[in-house]
Amino acid sequence: MDFSIIPQALPEFLHGALNTIIYCVVSFPLALLLGLILALMGSSRFIWLRGPARIYIEVIRSTPFIAQIFLIYFGLSTILFNISNHFGSANLAVYVNGWTAGIAALAINYSAYEAEVFRAGFLSVERGQTEAAFSLGLNSQQNFFRIVLPQAVPLMIPPFVNDLIYMLKDSAIVSVIAGLELTAVLDTWRIRHGSDPIPLFILAMVLYLLLSLPTSYFARWYERKLRAAL
Amino acid sequence: MEQTFTKSNTRRKPRGWLVILDYVFYVAIVAALGAFSYYLFQFRDSIVLFFPTFLQGAGLTIFLSVSSMILATIFGFVGALGRLSRFAPFRIIAAIYVEVIRGTPILVQLFAWGFGVRALLEQVGFDPYTIAYNFMTLLQNNSIVPSPFVFDAVFYGIVGLSFNYGAYLTEVFRTGIESVPIGQTEAALSLGLNSRQIMRKIVLPQAFRITIPPFANYFITLVQDSALLSTIGGVLELQQLTNAAATANASNANLQLFFYVFGALMFFCICYPLAILARYLESRYARAY
């Protein structure tokens, strides 16, 4: 094991880590937004809103992320190519690359999980709170935004942070469709130095740990504080 | 908002004209299923040609998942005993194991096992294929072990998957054991049981109940994560076959996309029944005794 390779590899690895952070920072708010829409659709009393949300969540949660990412990458490019062919416009498929398809795949995959978190959060606010709000004359919008949401958000933060860590780790899979993040950098360096790749793996793992451990300690600290407050 | 004091009144009956959309939804579901069936029907030649191979891949995926889960249970159980040990070095080693594994992506770990550890052990002279071959020859005359390339990849794949899931199961088992009230242990002590008897007869049976639902959920994610083995090559499971078939037909974009759809559909057919089973187990064990 020859650790003298690390100073050479470090700048590229750090750049890869930065790209990993960008993937998460862009995808997670999108996943939250989609997840909130799905959760609200799923709690609707109309089947035409509830049904599609349930089907989406079940299908996404029952297929591997790597299959979804290939499907989105090739599906988007095929569909856009067919559309541009049909209308005779410029080829739109050139816009499908590791960044767009990766962010779309992460957001689509995680929205199903965030929807469950939102649903559990809203359900954890007692029914009596809603009843009390209605008895005080609030309407259902006021009840949702002033009573349910402020009580549900603190409960949802620990699972959100956990899902952010999961997303950080799952963003490694974006490397299979030419996303240029930490694992892709690791893979190119591994191929370049095939005889002795162990130091490179250690470097990548340390970088991932530096990203994920503080976040997970924050989640645990916050959860302890929350439990003490309740 | 009139008369919303009680539970039954807060959930109002749907208004008339929006109910029509419910029936529109049913029609749309049937139409979507029909359209999807037609989409698959368009590629019937490829399905006939590749379905047996894909079924074999699905079989290997299930084999990988089950054997990894068995090994991961062992890792997790040892890890949980380590985390709850009174001997500090065991606790620290188990904690480092859990933190490092849960803090790094499984893909990087599989790379590390499939390329790093494999190369390292080959330098030392460790060859799992020869060991398995000799072992199988010891058991029978005509030893059936797949070719070295496939065997080694499957071996390191199973080790990588189970080492990863062992860390998650460590936490599952630890919380399961810790959730048994201390009064149970005290009662058992007062009845004169020793610590091993307490663990085996009092704590573990009660902890087992709590660990079943998360265990089932982790099995589903394990089936899905076994698809990541396609990145280290040589393991002919479902995703690897999907990628191979799709890459071979890359000249025809629609056919290439079809293979990815078909692979995802096969995974769905494996994972969705498991998800229903997990949900049943969750509701079954949420009830009191």
CB B104 to CB A59 under 8 A? Answer: no
User: What residue of A is the nearest CA neighbor of B105?
Assistant: A169
Given an 8 Å threshold on Cβ–Cβ distance, is B246 in contact with A134? no
Say yes or no for a CB contact (<8 Å) between B108 and A205: yes
In this complex, is the C-beta atom of B131 within 8 Å of any C-beta atom belonging to chain A?
no
| Each residue's pLDDT tens digit, B65-96 | 999 999 999 999 999 999 988 899 999 999 99
HSE at residue B7, side-chain half, CA atoms within 13 A, is 3
pTM: 0.89
Give the CATH number for residue A27: 1.10.3720.10
Give dist(CA A67, CA B244) in Å, integer.
Answer: 13
3-state secondary structure of B43: coil
Q: Give residue-wise pLDDT tens across range A59-117.
A: 999 999 999 999 999 998 889 888 888 888 788 888 888 899 999 999 999 999 999 99
CA–CA dist A37, B186 (Å, integer): 49
C-beta separation of A167 from A28 below 8 A:
yes
The whole-angstrom separation of Cα A55 and Cα A50 is 9
What domains sit in chain B, N to C, each tagged with a CATH number?
54-123+156-244+252-286 (1.10.3720.10)
Residues B267, A186: C-beta atoms closer than 8 Å: no
Block means of pLDDT (10 residues each) for chain A, 230 residues, are 85 94 95 94 86 93 94 91 86 86 94 93 87 88 86 89 93 89 92 84 94 91 85
State which residue of chain B sits closest to A143, comparing Cα positions. B1
Return residues 155-214 of A near B (CB < 8 Å).
165, 168-173, 175-176, 183, 186-187, 190, 194-198, 201, 204-205, 208-209, 212-213
Q: Which domain holds residue A64?
A: 5-229
In this complex, do A134 and B1 lie within 8 Å of one another by their Cβ atoms?
yes
Total domain count for chain A? 1
The string of DSSP codes covering A18-74 is HHHHHHHHHHHHHHHHHHHHHHHHHT-S-HHHHHHHHHHHHHHHTS-HHHHHHHHHH
Which residue from B141, B105, B192 is spatially nearest to A106, judged by alpha carbons?
Answer: B105
Q: CB of A150 within 8 Å of any CB in chain B?
A: no
ipTM given for this complex: 0.90
Q: What angle do CA B66, B175, B172 make, to 5 degrees?
A: 15
